[in-house]
Structure 1
Amino acid sequence: MSSLSIEELTAAIQSGAIDTVVVAMTDMQGRLTGKRIHGDHFLNEVLKHGTEGCNYLLAVDVDMNTVQGYEMSSWERGYSDFELAPDFNTLRLIPWQEGAALVLADVQWLDHTPVVASPRQILRKQIANLEKAGMQAMCGTELEFVVYKDTYEEAWDKAYRDLTPVNQYNVDYSILGGSRIEPLLREIRLGMSAAGMTVESVKGECNLGQHEIAFKYSDALSNCDQHVIYKNGAKEIAAEAGYALTFMAKPNEREGNSSHIHLSFRGLNGELVMTDDSDKEHGMSELGRQFIAGQLTHMRELSLLFAPNINSYKRYVPGSFAPTAIRWGRDNRTCAFRLVGHGAGLRLENRIPGGDVNPYLAVAGIIAAGLDGINKKMKLEPAFTGNAYVSDSARVPSTMNEALDLWEKSAWVKETFGDEVQAHYANMARVEISAYAKAVTDWELFRNFERF
């Protein structure tokens, strides 16, 4: 559902209540990029024709440096434009910015064909494949973040060292711990609610200054849209209040920031295709078992979609509540996949992604793996009981190099996502790995400066 109609937007611009419309796409890193457009110009031009952006927006590193290796965008190809085509189902107010509205855009070439390596288009393709099979995906993402009393500028100037977390001890589920930062958490919750999201709850987490705000599940596309809007908006609200907030997967040696993804398939009319009351053990249908079997089969070759940065892989520490074992279990947080809920609430939680995940890519991977499990009628192994950390299970890749190798050599990835997408995100990983290999870290300085 749109929280703002075109008619409402037009009236608000004409009255002066809204003067700015943000048109944004999601880049490879899951960030919003785009333009702030004056309200009258939006009504007169962009509403009808969209707007343009340089195609390097899907071919740069995290620092916005142009890099080699992307087929779709290069100096040789002239870094031409592509079109940002607004999806008016996403139109909403930005309550935390005066006079502003936001609309997310699909990315297409100037001849109106889709840019297939765009994260939103990758998810759209998998949603369409699932719809052809008579199903839809419902999902919810759970983003954790750490808040510091320093501003973003102060954190930068300190080289991100010696920052002061808003809580200085573990406040997991602590009401008192949440109260210490409730004014900021409340501003974020109310802002997101006014932007059309259904807020469920907020709770403290294990790391110092770590919290999580949860939102109600919805269809896969709208939930990923809400994820990127919330992530961007939470940072904007925090910055305005004088805090720095990070979703970085592993900001320090304590517990990392996760982004658990809960997902289930339903029929096109909401039928509960993954449940079966006659299954006394888990209440799960054979289709549901095939869905989970697909996740287990394809998790390793999809790990690049769940863990897109060098830092992502540092979360996977035994006993940290981040998974290392590729197993599934009934309400077992030591497994990579956790089956929770009953009946209409039955769903699989993928515990692999961190807070740095691009939700469109991760959810596309989950849908594709589940659909393959169903199409091939894969058999599901028994639920794991006990501590999966100490099991002899297959493991979540421990490095980005390993994840890249699995992604790049996978015939199934090529068949499912296409040559262009496989090559595009392999190059993204190579760029990240190359940049890291050249960096001199604090660890190296302390270990080597005086001793060698």
Structure 2
Amino acid sequence: MTRNDRHRTLHQLTAAIDAGEVDTVVVAFTDMQGRLQGKRLHARYFLDVVVGHGTEGCNYLLGVDIDMNTVAGYAITSWDRGYGDMEFVLDLDTIRLLTHLPATAMVQCDLVWPDHAPVVQSPRAVLKAQTARAAELGYAALSGTELEFILFEDTYEAARDARYQGLTPSNQYNVDYSILGTTRVEPLLRDIRNTMYAAGLNVEGAKGECNFGQHEIGFLYDDVLVTADNHSVYKTVAKEIAAHHGKSLTFMAKFNEREGNSCHVHLSLRGQDGRIVFWDDATGTRSELYDQFVAGVLATMPDFTLLYAPNVNSYKRFAAGSFAPTTIAWGEDNRTCAVRLVGHGAGARMENRVPGGDVNPYLALAAMLAGGLHGIEKGLALEPPLEGNAYTSGRPQVPATLLEARNAFHDSAIARAALGDAVVDHYTNMADVELAAFGAAVTDWELVRSFERM
């Protein structure tokens, strides 16, 4: 049984390899920064060796910065520990074809140590631990992520040579919902949509967004693990397809002073038998469980902001009047709040508007589940909805800097109880590494402001 009819079973993949239709298999996992990391294997080696015996990768892959530099402070990987291996455990439910590449399939992986103990700090393991908690309470979690990017006419190489300054956006005015604006870049959007559909994602559609060259491709709601797996594949493939078109795109949270790239995360619970638990059909209103879940996400927003906004740049997106949230509040279909409730009946769900395009989906979904389950377990009451403009409401604010979010996460008893000390300490160190790197950098802003005039 596959996730849908566009995923492949191992039997189907074997037949495709035997027929010469697939000659390369990518085995990959998602790292701390949300990137796919792994290996390209010859298909025959994959079948003859890896399916039965697995493959390995250096454990430094969960202990490097964005530039792949080894850094200190991680308990699981260091020079003193010798930088040993982790094993890649194939999740055969994730076999998919990558039609933008010749004769290529992909399998996503979990990570275990040589003694087969799970690597609990890996993002997929962090999310699986929270889905297991939900299952113990009788619930399954569904989610969808809405991920924006900005598209440029420049290649990635040209953009780097220009130090990412003076790039030409593919649309040079606001194309929010514009059919003309999306037509201008439809060859690329179409390639991404159709490639992702062939790879097993349930594609909804594409629309323009506000910043110049900004677009969003939407995918249907699914199980939280499926959504996180698909999200990671989509980000990588979208960049690869952009490169094939001689263009580049970025998911960074705040590329310039205009609108940032959001990643609104929708989430709801169902009973494990599929029953609706966020809605009371008898009264036509939200269930008490739904209110408790949302109350928990709000109560733990400062605790888990680090997992929603993991980089220095993430916090540049939080600006009043920008459609990015600054206020910890909820509202009925209110886009000025951190949490927006939408839908009814089977479609009732919460939208977390805090994450940006740089978010690691596994960690964000794990944090939302941890917060929501905390609300259920503690029976938290949901405050009344915020009416009107949350930016001017005077309500508590989302942490405004990476340092503030780092400290709240590190000191959170709720985070440590839900995720475990090993996970909290690991991602606290990731924040420390980023803060140190940014603190040592001389920015373009400083040069322009200071070179002549100071």
TM-score, reference length from structure 1: 0.99
> Is 1:82 matched with 2:107?
no
- Residue 449 of structure 2: SS of its match in structure 1? helix
Q: Which residue number in structure 1 is paired with residue 258 of structure 2? A: 254
Q: Which residue number in structure 1 is paired with residue 414 of structure 2? A: 412
CA-to-partner distance for each residue in 1:36-76, whole Å, 9 max, x for gaps? 00000000111112210000000000000000000000000
Map 1:200-219 → 2, pairs under 5 A? 200-219=204-223
Q: Which residue number in structure 2 is paired with residue 235 of structure 1? A: 239
Map 1:392-411 → 2, pairs under 5 A? 392-411=394-413
- Residue 255 of structure 1: SS of its match in structure 2? coil
> Is 1:40 matched with 2:44?
yes
Q: Which residue number in structure 2 is paired with residue 446 of structure 1? A: 448
Aligned-partner residue type, residue 436 of structure 1: F
Question: Structure 1 residue aligned with 2:347, among 331, 338, 345?
Answer: 345
Q: Which residue number in structure 2 is paired with residue 115 of structure 1? A: 119
CA-CA distance at 1:387 after TM superposition: 0.2
Q: Which residue number in structure 2 is paired with residue 174 of structure 1? A: 178
Q: Which residue number in structure 1 is paired with residue 293 of structure 2? A: 291
CA-to-partner distance for each residue in 1:179-213, whole Å, 9 max, x for gaps? 10011000000000011111111100000000000
- The CA distance in 2 between the partners of 1:69 and 1:329, in whole Å, is 40
Q: Which residue number in structure 1 is paired with residue 436 of structure 2? A: 434
Q: Which residue number in structure 2 is paired with residue 314 of structure 1? A: 316
User: Gaps (5+ residues) in structure 2?
Assistant: none
Q: Which residue number in structure 2 is paired with residue 185 of structure 1? A: 189
User: Gaps (5+ residues) in structure 1?
Assistant: none
Map 1:18-57 → 2, pairs under 5 A? 18-57=22-61
Q: Which residue number in structure 2 is paired with residue 143 of structure 1? A: 147
CA-CA distance at 1:278 after TM superposition: 4.2
Using the aligned pairs only, state the percent identity: 58
- The CA distance in 1 between the partners of 2:421 and 2:377, in whole Å, is 22
- The CA distance in 2 between the partners of 1:277 and 1:393, in whole Å, is 32
> Is 1:134 matched with 2:138?
yes
Aligned-partner residue type, residue 124 of structure 1: K
- Residue 335 of structure 1: SS of its match in structure 2? coil
Question: Structure 1 residue aligned with 2:426, among 414, 424, 427?
Answer: 424
CA contact (8 A) 1:401 1:433 kept: yes
Aligned-partner residue type, residue 118 of structure 1: S
- Residue 269 of structure 1: SS of its match in structure 2? coil
CA-to-partner distance for each residue in 1:272-317, whole Å, 9 max, x for gaps? 101013445xx20000100110011001110000000000000000
Q: Which residue number in structure 1 is paired with residue 198 of structure 2? A: 194
CA contact (8 A) 1:275 1:288 kept: yes
CA-CA distance at 1:248 after TM superposition: 0.5
Cα RMSD for the two superposed structures: 0.7
CA contact (8 A) 1:140 1:223 kept: yes
- The CA distance in 2 between the partners of 1:48 and 1:227, in whole Å, is 28
CA-CA distance at 1:269 after TM superposition: 1.1
Q: Which residue number in structure 2 is paired with residue 267 of structure 1? A: 271
| Aligned residue pair count | 450
CA contact (8 A) 1:279 1:285 kept: no
- The CA distance in 1 between the partners of 2:273 and 2:186, in whole Å, is 39
- The CA distance in 1 between the partners of 2:133 and 2:294, in whole Å, is 18
> Is 1:367 matched with 2:369?
yes
Question: Structure 2 residue aligned with 1:157, among 157, 161, 177?
Answer: 161
- The CA distance in 2 between the partners of 1:4 and 1:333, in whole Å, is 39
Aligned-partner residue type, residue 92 of structure 2: F
- The CA distance in 2 between the partners of 1:93 and 1:178, in whole Å, is 26
